[in-house]
Amino acid sequence: MTPTNPRYGVYTLVVIFFSEDESIDLEGTKTHALVLLSSKREMLIRTVRSYLINLGYLSLQLIVGCSAPSAGTDFVLVLPLAYWTTSTTPPVIEGFFSTVAENSPLPVLIYNFPSVIGGMDISSDSIIRLAQKNPNIFGVKLTCGNPFATFGGKLGFFLSALVARSHSIITALANVMPRTHGNYADWALSKVGVAGVKGVVSHYFGYGTAQGRRPLELTLVSKLSIDALERIQQLIDIENGL
């Protein structure tokens, strides 16, 4: 299978909002997918795709997990299996991604995120071998600080990734400052965490809530440090002026 390449540009990790009873508020997702049933994930994907179509964005591409291609996704983002990290050797990782790519109806994006998979880091050699062997693997998202990336996962190394011929970036911070990029932006919001990003969006832009799903706690803007608030406000001012 020859995949269709994603468009060049900035990809936003949209946030998911919950009501006080932790029911889904149907406005996006970021990091909370792990606490949702597959049926709920598919509902979110269908909702996002429906809104995009209604707004006239017929060709806007979605990158989602690999469980529901029929829901309207264009590409799938896949983490390696990492329950037994000591046994998950490079051949095991490469075999896993090869199997996924060979059987996936959609193009596959490798996701390397060591901090959420027991510190396991996919080597560049493995990524290169997978890319050369599997035409259905179209890229990699690196949330590991490595400056060589097809898709960067943090604004802090966006520029260096572009210099290294990175294709693009996928970032949650684009919810708050889609036109403001750099280390300054990454520092300010990376300090507030997943629920904090939602709190900032709710406080400054008037939609959604800061409500998370357990074990994550509610993060109100009023509880953030003065330093973080000052930096965030400066970024909001810059964003509003662009």
Write down the catalytic residue from 133, 141, 154, 198: 141
User: Annotated catalytic, 141?
Assistant: yes
- Residue 139 pairs in a beta bridge with 109
3-state helix, strand, coil in the chain (%, to 5): 45, 10, 45
**Nearest residue to 109 (alpha-carbon basis) of 67, 137, 73:** 137
- Token pair listed for 197: 């990003």
* Pairing relationship of beta strands 137-142 and 168-171 according to DSSP bridges: unpaired
Residues 228, 230, 234, 236: what is their CA dihedral angle, to the nearest 10 degrees?
A: 60
Show Cβ contacts of residue 213 under 8 Å, excluding neighbours closer than 6 positions.
Answer: 18, 22, 32, 35
Active site residues: 141
